[in-house]
Amino acid sequence: MGFLSKLLGLQQAKPKPQKREPARKNGNFLKPWPAKPQTKILELPGGFDRTLYVYDDSPFSTAKRGDTIQVEFFPGEATLLSKKSGSAVDTHKDAAVCLLHKGRPVGVVFDYRNDVRLAYDKGIRLLATATVGRQLPDYGNIRALTLHLPTSRSTTRQLIENYEVNSKVPKSAQRIQFNEWDEQDFEQLTGRSSWVFENARLEFLPVPKGSSAKPHILASSAEGRKVFRLTARNSVYKDVASAIESSAEFLILAERRTAGDGRVGYNITLAHW
């Protein structure tokens, strides 16, 4: 991030070869997509909790309730059969994605296939964290997992698409996302559909003498290009104002968007740390 690295939470460390079991006695079967070098690692930041549907809790049997474990999105198809609950899933038929812990399948989520495919095509191993929960009596006492992912799907996609830039952003970075529809504010962006601004500048604009209004916020590139302007009416104004007070580094990603009513604007992601 700089700004973007924090925003994206990437690591450039060389990944360790992972062991995958094509078949196991409990009926789990993994079928990887065609071999392709996966030399990059993206550890997705948290912010949004969702259920990871567990089919085999033996890979994390030594973990205690409340422990955090690392999981990896499996780039391929999987068939899982739970010995404890009797449930089965086929990721291809059920439009799901298998997740591994230490190279062994533990469960699935029922979306993110497009994100996993995008990461696979770019040679990126996609990692996340999950918290171990309680045993579930209705499912053979299998242990629950809560998966921690970015607050929006668009953030996940941006982290993958802009991996090289995002790798500059520290994991501790905070992210703010909003849409800019005011043509006067984004007129200096219209030459391109996507922009990345490292070392961006954010400042409060002077308030007219005698006015009790809150100051507008102006964001500009290091070269002086206007990126966006916020008034106090914007829903993220307080968050951005707080970021100006608390952070020293800013990275901005701007991507062109078309609304349902035909309006054209830019989706803004602000990373700060």
Look at 194 and 26; give whichever has higher pLDDT.
194
Nearest Cα to Cα of residue 145 among 161, 154, 134 = 134
Considering the chain, tell me which residue range(s) the CATH 2.40.50 domain(s) occupy: 173-272
| Cβ neighbours of 273 (radius 10 Å) | 21
The model's pLDDT over 119-173, given as tens digits with 9 standing for 90+, comes to: 999 999 999 999 999 999 999 999 999 999 998 888 899 899 989 888 889 888 9
Radius of gyration of the chain (CA): 22
pLDDT at position 101 is 98
| Cβ neighbours of 190 (radius 10 Å) | 11
Complete edge-to-edge strand list for the sheet that includes strand 194-197: 174-180, 264-272, 250-258, 194-197
User: Which single residue is written with the structure tokens 């901005």?
Assistant: 252
3-class secondary-structure state, position 199: coil
* Banded pLDDT at 1 (limits 50, 70, 90): very low
Mean pLDDT of all residues in 33-46: 94
pLDDT at position 166 is 85
User: Lowest-pLDDT range, 23-27, 46-50, 176-180, 239-243?
Assistant: 23-27
Q: Which fold has domain 173-272?
A: OB fold (Dihydrolipoamide Acetyltransferase, E2P) (2.40.50)
